[in-house]
Amino acid sequence: MKTTLLYILIPAIWIIGALLWARTFNQIPRAGDLRQTQPPFTSAHQTGIPALTESPRTDEWFIMNVSAYDTCDLCCAPYNDGITASGKPAVGRICAAPPEYPFGTVFEVEGHGEWVVEDRGGAIVGDKLDLLMDSHGKAILFGRHDLLVRILK
């Protein structure tokens, strides 16, 4: 029993330590750092309205604060009609992202696969990403994590 516990704890501690070390020494940028090098606005910047242009593809991984939601009253009221902000049905591998990422942008979330931006959220700003789950229980179990993410298209 003690040996099994060590086999679980030692790698987990090592991984957490490695991520903290990389973050401390700026080896892994946060999403906000990436946006500073690639301005998300075009000429609409003067109006304060972000221009929804194509997201830049990047092979670089960066950290985003990732959470989960579903279409229940607790997560989405009063916008829980099953339709995303882009007008598409809220089914499948959809995520909510800040307006800097246009609808149709594909994120790869390490360990969780590919997700397409089709939704927005009032609390989804900066370096946050919200993944759509098919039940409230799954969204709660997912929790909130700082995860490695990259833009595929």
With 0-12 / 13-18 / 19 or more C-beta atoms within 10 angstroms meaning exposed / middle / buried, residue 25 is exposed
The burial of 112, by beta-carbon neighbours within 10 Å (0-12 exposed, 13-18 middle, 19 or more buried), is given as: middle
Look at residue 49 in the predicted model and tell me its pLDDT: 41
pLDDT tens for residues 15-58? 776 666 555 555 555 655 554 444 333 333 333 444 444 545 56
Domains belonging to the chain, first-starting first, are 30-151 (2.40.40.10)
Integer angstrom CA distances of residue 140 from 28, 31, 117, 119: 27, 24, 20, 19
pLDDT tens for residues 120-144?
888 888 889 999 998 888 988 988 9
* Each residue's pLDDT tens digit, 24-35: 555 555 655 554
**What local confidence, expressed as pLDDT, does residue 21 receive?**
57
Over residues 99-119, the pLDDT tens digits come to 999 999 999 998 899 999 998
| Other beta carbons within 10 Å of 125 | 12
* Structure tokens that stand for 62 in this block: 């960066």
**Cβ distance 105 to 153 under 8 Å?**
yes
- Identify the residue with better confidence: 103 or 59: 103
Residue 117 CB contacts under 8 Å (≥ 6 apart), including other chains: 94, 95, 96, 97, 101, 102, 103, 104, 105, 106, 107
Best CA proximity match to 61, nearest among 98, 89, 33: 33
Q: SS3 of 115, please?
A: strand
Percent of the chain beyond pLDDT 90?
24
Residue 52 tokens read as 């929804």
- Whole-prediction pTM value? 0.62
Q: How far is CA 124 from the centre of its chain?
A: 9
3-class secondary structure, 128: strand
The band of 65, judged by pLDDT with boundaries at 50, 70 and 90, is very high
Predicted confidence at residue 50, as pLDDT, reads: 43
User: Which has the higher per-residue pLDDT, 85 or 3?
Assistant: 85
